[in-house]
Amino acid sequence: MYYTILTAIDNHGGKTFFSAADTTEKKSVDKAITNFNIGKLDQDDTIHKIVTWDNIKDVSPKAAR
């Protein structure tokens, strides 16, 4: 399994985090981007960072900031 955290920034400088998991890195990233597109609050929200891990024990929310 691959675990992805996507960090988005809104037009006020606030950060929002979206996560996803799937069997391949590409599928995990694609799901995180889909979650971002569904959950973003404004059309001006932008993707700041995408981090993916292949082991859930290595997942670090600090690394996604």
Alpha-helical segments (H) within 3-59: 25-39
pTM reported for the whole predicted model:
0.86
32 in Cβ contact with 39 (< 8 Å): no
> If you average pLDDT over every residue of the chain, what do you get?
90
Report the run of H or E that residue 19 belongs to, with start and end.
strand 15-22
Tell me the domains of the chain and their CATH numbers: 2-64 (3.10.20)
Query: What integer is the mean pLDDT of 18-45?
Result: 95
Enumerate the β-bridge partners of residue 7: 17, 49
Query: What integer is the mean pLDDT of 10-37?
Result: 95
Cα separation, 11 vs 47, whole angstroms: 12
